[in-house]
Amino acid sequence: MNTTEKEKKVYVKIFRSQLSENELLLLYYNAATKYGTKLYPIVLKYNLLKHLPSISKLEFKIYINDTKSISDLQSFNSFLYDVLNKYILTINENSQNGVFETPSISLPLNCNKDIILGLKSQDPTILELSLIFEKKIKKIFEFNIDRFQEYLKSLLADLLIYSRYNQPDKITITSNPTIENQIQLTIESNIKIVLNVD
């Protein structure tokens, strides 16, 4: 009996829901090794790491030690992922339909209405992200602004590069010169920018 692709996805979702965070971490790091080259396409195809929060990964422990606002940080990460995912899907859909400019968006963060998230792109390989502070802010999630910018850059690298097992030279994330009350990052890629979805 052959299993259809639709049935496989149902079974994989059931399997995925049974994995603990520690098992997901082992899967993530194993697929990143030279022994996991056959594994990571499966991880990506079925989005097996969907329930693995970025801040659970070892490379984020240095940031977690700096804050007590873990649940707020996780809420921000989910919000950013959702907004980025919708925007990137729109960019890619527009480019397939011959539209080369996607309207920019700006909306307040779910956890702090005084911070506005902005996204702008004219190409599926370039994305500009900004956080604009409506009020003078000294700290975000107990990070100073420079430290939060480092965290944001690491989070984007995790979502766009490491969670997709891309080579870091395929996508670059650069911090634009700091403007008062604003963080700006530019993502440039030699491949289409995508996130893991299912």
- Tokens for 23, please give them: 């098992």
Task: Of 13, 40, 18, give the one whose Cα is nearest residue 27.
Answer: 40
What's the pLDDT band for 1 if we cut at 50, 70, 90? low
Contacts of 193 (CB under 8 A, 6+ apart): 88, 91, 92, 124, 125, 127, 160, 171, 187
Tens of pLDDT, residue by residue over 9-28, are: 899 999 999 999 999 999 99
Would you state the pLDDT for residue 79? 95
Contact 118, 104 (CB under 8 A): yes
104-128 pLDDT, tens per residue? 999 999 888 889 999 999 888 999 9
Closest CA to 164 of 63, 28, 22, 21: 28
Mean pLDDT, residues 56-81 taken together: 88
Task: Tell me which amino acid residue 116 is.
Answer: I
- What is the value of pTM for the model shown? 0.89
Mean of all residue pLDDT scores within the chain? 89
Beta bridge partners of 30: none
Closest C-alpha among 4, 50, 5, 57 to residue 26: 57
Name residue 123's beta-bridge partners. 126
pLDDT tier for residue 131 given thresholds of 50, 70 and 90: very high
- Name, in order, each residue with C-beta under 8 angstroms of 82's C-beta and a sequence gap of 6 or more: none
The pair of three-digit structure tokens given for residue 92, joined into one six-digit string: 């890619």
Of 180, 172, 163, 178, nearest in space to 56 by CA: 163
**Which amino acid would we find at residue 17?**
S
